[in-house]
Amino acid sequence: MINWFFHHRFYIARRMTQTLILLAYFGSNYFGWNTIVGNLSTALVFGTIPLSDPFSTLQMFFAGAVITVDIMMGVGVVVFFYSVIGGRFFCSWVCPINIVTETATWVRNILPFNTVDVCSPLPQSTRTWMIIISFVLSYIFSLAAYEMINPIGIAHRGIIFGFGMGWVLLLAIFLFDLFSQEYAWCGHICPVGKFNALLGKYSLIKVVHDKDKCVNSLECFKACPEVQILNMVGHKSATITGSSCLKCARCIEVCETGAFEFSVVGITKQLRDDK
C-alpha cells in the first residue's frame, strides 16, 4: 500500500491540486469565500492578485476588445508564473480536462483494443494551426473565437454551476481520446496547452534525466504523454527541454531507478542540453 502511494505521489498531489482549485472557485461562487473569484480565463486571488489567461486575452485583443490594465497585470502574473514553473504545469496540475483525458488513457490501456486507432494519427502541428485559426476567427468575427467552444471553460462552469449540455462535449473528448489515438485532444488539438507550452519553453523548473541511473526499461516511454521529448533517454544525461513537458511527473513515478527528478535548471544549461 505504501508502495502504491509512493508510486502515485505526484498523481495524488495533482488531483488534490485540481480539486482544491475547483473547490476554491466553487466556494467563492456559492459561499462568498474570498479565495479565487472568476474563472480559468480571468480571476482575482484573495481579492488582490489578478490572473488572466494569455491565450484568451490575445483572442480578445484580436477581436478588438479593450484590454484593461487589470487584465494586462493578470497576464503578467501568469506569464511570470509560467516562465518559472512551465506553461504546461497548468495542464497536469490545474486543467479539469486533464482528468478526462488521463482517465481515457487509463481506460484505453486496460482495454484489449488499446493499440487500435480508428483514424490516422493527427500531426503535432495541428495545435499550432488551432492557435492561428483561433486568432484569425477572433479577428473576423470580433469575438474570442476559441473561447466559444473551449472545453476547459465549459468543464469549469459545469462543475461550479451545473453542466447542462456541457457534459456532451466532455464525453466527446473522452471518446475521442479513447478511440482515435492516445492523448489525442491534449497532445494534438488543444491550442491552450500549446500556447502555454511556448510561454514556458525556458521555465526554470524542469525534469532532468540521469543516464547513469537509466537501465533502459523504457517505462517512461509508456507513461509519458509526450514521448517525443524523451529523445535523450538512454543516450545522455540532460534536461528535458521540450516545451511540451507537462511536469506531470509520471516519468519520475514509474522509473524504478530514479533516473528522473525535478530540478532548477538555468537557461544556459537548457540551451546546451537542447543541442
For residue 133, how many other CB atoms are within 10 A of its CB?
Answer: 13
Q: Which of 137, 199, 249, 265 binds ligand SF4 (CB under 6 A)?
A: 249
If binding means CB under 6 A, how many residues of this protein chain bind ligand SF4? 25
What's the rounded Cα separation, in Å, for the pair 91 and 99? Answer: 10
State the cell numbers at 198.
Answer: 511556448
Shortest reach from residue 28's CB to ligand SF4, in Å: 21
Using a 10 angstrom Cβ sphere, with 0-12 exposed, 13-18 middle and 19 or more buried, the burial of residue 162 is exposed
Shortest reach from residue 57's CB to ligand SF4, in Å: 15
If one asks whether residue 95 binds ligand SF4 (CB under 6 A), the answer comes out as: yes
| Per-residue contact string for residues 97-116; x = within reach of ligand SF4 by CB under 6 A | xx--x---------------
Torsion of CA 254, 256, 257, 259, to 10 degrees: 0
Helical (H) or strand (E) element with 263:
strand 260-264
Cβ-contact 219, 99 below 8 angstroms:
no
| Per-residue contact string for residues 43-82; x = within reach of ligand SF4 by CB under 6 A | ----------------------------------------
Task: Return the number of the residue (63 or 207) whose C-beta is nearest ligand SF4.
Answer: 207
For residue 148, how many other CB atoms are within 10 A of its CB?
Answer: 14
What's the rounded Cα separation, in Å, for the pair 43 and 213? Answer: 43
Task: Kindly provide the residue ranges of all beta strands, DSSP E only, lying in 165-259, ordered along the sequence.
Answer: 205-209, 238-239
Stretch that binds ligand SF4, among 72-80, 91-99, 110-118, 265-273 (CB under 6 A): 91-99
Stretch that binds ligand SF4, among 16-24, 40-48, 61-69, 249-257 (CB under 6 A): 249-257
Q: Which of 40, 137, 169, 223 binds ligand SF4 (CB under 6 A)?
A: 223
Between residue 112 and residue 171, which ones bind ligand SF4 under the rule CB under 6 A?
152
Residues belonging to the chain = 275
If one asks whether residue 199 binds ligand SF4 (CB under 6 A), the answer comes out as: no
Q: Which residues bind ligand SF4 (CB under 6 A)?
A: 90-91, 95, 97-98, 101, 152, 186, 190, 192-193, 207, 223-226, 229, 240, 245-251
